[in-house]
Amino acid sequence: MSKKFKAIIIDNQNDKFSREVKDLSTDVLKDGNVLVKIDYSSLNFKDALILNNGGRIVRKYPFVPGIDFSGSVEESEDTKFKKDDKVILTGFRVGEMYYGGFSQYARVNSDFLVKVPNDLSTLKAMKMGTAGLTALLCAFAIKAKEELLMGSKVKDVLVTGATGGVGSFAVMALSKMGYDVHAVTGKKEKHEYLKKLGAKNILYRDEFLGESKLLEKGLWDCVVDTVGGEGLTKILAQTKPGGIVALPGNAGGNKISTNVMPFVIRGIKLWGIDSSGASLKRKEFVWNEASKLIDFSLIDNSIKEVSLKELLEVFPKMLKGELSGRILVNPNK
């Protein structure tokens, strides 16, 4: 039996882009074998790009965006899931190719879904969302220097974009892992917030960036660079021998100016983090570790909950760099 629900619809007809909250029926949800009643979604940078103009990502219109969500199984054709199971979805081209999470319902492939661990909730899962998942994938990439690569012990870890969604979770998780976190931010008013998350030292972006040699004095055992762009040149130059630079984002641009020197002279590893395409097994592992590494009481004040309609007013601020913390989307608000 079909159900009526609300969702954000983006459309692009005759080169005229539009976005609005519309009433739909579950009959229009054709993809997948599990129908999920969505409790929460979240706003990510990719979502903001798509909401703005499709971001050169969405090819088929009209479309429901939203690259992550959590909720309860309403119907399932796969015996792995039953009605009322709590589930999380991140990535797998949902919100890009398949109808996404800025909606009260979504139908997706069962192989895209992770069950919510017993020590989490659908609310906590989307307080983290794709940003939190990405941050933890970065944190475990850093840990791999000690374990998988059997390298020297990690002490000093640099995190760029530290007040952003990925950055703030990375600061917290890496601190919980016992590392000394050096947080880079352009927001001086967030000094105390970063200290509460666990940062040992705060570096301000305008002081940190600038011209760089290909190799400088090694300062960082490892790095989580959420920004990318030319700042990565200096980061690579300042990373100690054998260090890992986990790179999950490109908000600072796509180009860097470097050569093979940091990699062949110092053995630095540039580790790309693709949380969207991470295997279901890796996602299950990270979600099950989340409650050990994330103190939700520290981030609650930095999370703003919005309705679908309010989301359409908020997303441009993310593109302008005017947001810090997380935007939690409640489609039932």
Helix axes 280-293, 122-146, angle to 10 degrees: 100
Asked if residue 112 has pLDDT above 90, the reply is yes
- Any idea what the Cα angle at residue 41 is, between residues 35 and 44, rounded to 5°? 130
84-99: per-residue pLDDT in tens? 999 999 999 999 999 9
| Range 106-121 average pLDDT | 97
* CA proximity to 95, closest of 124, 65, 125: 65
pLDDT at residue 93 in the model: 95
Q: Which residue has the higher pLDDT, 213 or 35?
A: 35
pLDDT at residue 115 in the model: 97
pLDDT at residue 206 in the model: 78
Q: How far apart are CA 85 and CA 73, in angstroms?
A: 5
Query: The tokens 């011209």 sit on which residue?
Result: 211
Q: 124: how many CB neighbours lie within 10 A of its CB?
A: 18
Asked if residue 262 has pLDDT above 80, the reply is yes
Asked if residue 251 has pLDDT above 80, the reply is no
pLDDT at residue 152 in the model: 79
pLDDT at residue 155 in the model: 95
270-312: per-residue pLDDT in tens? 999 999 889 999 999 999 999 999 999 998 888 999 999 999 9
- Any idea what the Cα angle at residue 278 is, between residues 228 and 122, rounded to 5°? 100
Residue 37 pLDDT level (bands cut at 50, 70, 90): very high
Contact 208/184 with Cβ under 8 angstroms?
A: yes
pLDDT at residue 258 in the model: 81
Of the ranges 131-135, 206-210, 248-252, which one carries the lowest mean pLDDT score? 206-210
pLDDT at residue 269 in the model: 95
- pLDDT > 90 fraction of the chain, expressed in percent and rounded: 76
Domains of the chain by range and CATH? 4-116+299-329 (3.90.180.10), 130-272 (3.40.50.720)
Asked if residue 128 has pLDDT above 90, the reply is yes
Q: Which residue has the higher pLDDT, 184 or 229?
A: 184
4-36: per-residue pLDDT in tens? 999 999 999 988 999 999 999 999 998 999 999
Q: Is 0.85 topped by the overall pTM?
A: yes
Question: What letters, b where the CB count within 10 A reaches 16 and e where it falls short, cover 93-115?
Answer: ebbbebbbbbbbbbbbebebbbb
Of the ranges 165-174, 183-192, 201-210, 263-272, which one carries the lowest mean pLDDT score? 201-210
pLDDT at residue 208 in the model: 64
pLDDT at residue 229 in the model: 84
143-156: per-residue pLDDT in tens? 988 887 777 789 99
What are 147's two structure tokens?
Answer: 């374990």
- pLDDT > 70 fraction of the chain, expressed in percent and rounded: 99
Pairing of strands 269-272, 239-247: parallel
